Amino acid sequence: MKRASSIEALLRKSQTVFADLKRAYDASLHEKHVREDLKVDIKNIFENLRSCLDYLAHDIFETHCPSAKSPDRLYFPIRATATDFNQAVSRDYPGLQATSTVVFGILESVQPYRDPWLGQFNRLNNDNKHQDLVEQTRTESRQVTVSRGGGTVSWGQGVTFGGGVSVMGVPIDPRTQMLVPNNVAQTQVITWVDFLFKDNGMSVLPFTETSLKNVEKIYCDLQPHI
């Protein structure tokens, strides 16, 4: 595999940037906005991961389509339907299905019509390249949990109590939407804070981590066959 060292270097770099990203992420949450350097880190991770996929595309072509003329632009195939995927592979990787059913099967198994992640990843990457940095939206949500004995009751945003309502035998104050002060029930209030990609509504850190793991898995699955 000609480009293995380049792919592995990009994966290592992406993992290092992601570790720094997680530390900077917490600071941005407290500042209540996404810092520009954090956006750049996210952009770089996605560009590096996309480069890994395109390096794989070239190794697949050179290994399994040696007599075919290379397209002017060769990319890792990402298609929304099985028909479009088969057409793209037939055009850009002539004979691949015959020369390596394993590689063809791996490529087919990760397509957006099998798993939406690759399509979401591709759209974010394209937005980063051509439409400035992808915008992240800060969101907050509150969850209240009341415990008494061995039982708990929880509610989130959008739940409003009127007068005369009790939880775990303790009245709710309609002004504060909390239990009146008492010594029989425990109340815990958790505020969830996150940044979401505006494009797909996915949480930034988990989606970035999923992308790192998925690209590494695609590489590991394909490496023995190219």
157-212: pLDDT as tens digits: 778 899 899 998 999 999 888 889 998 888 887 766 677 887 788 888 899 999 99
Let me know whether 125 and 174 are in one domain: no
Q: How many domains does the chain have?
A: 2
Q: How far apart are the C-alpha atoms of 121 and 112, rounded to whole Å?
A: 10
Let me know whether 149 and 57 are in one domain: no
| Confidence (pLDDT) at 33 | 66
pLDDT for 30-78, tens place per residue?
Answer: 666 667 788 888 889 999 999 999 999 999 999 999 889 988 899 999 9
Let me know whether 70 and 88 are in one domain: yes
pLDDT for 62-75, tens place per residue?
Answer: 999 988 998 889 99
pLDDT above 80 for 1: no
Let me know whether 59 and 25 are in one domain: yes
Q: Which domain holds residue 179?
A: 138-194
Angle in degrees, 0-180, between the axes of helices 204-222 and 36-64, rounded to the nearest 10: 20
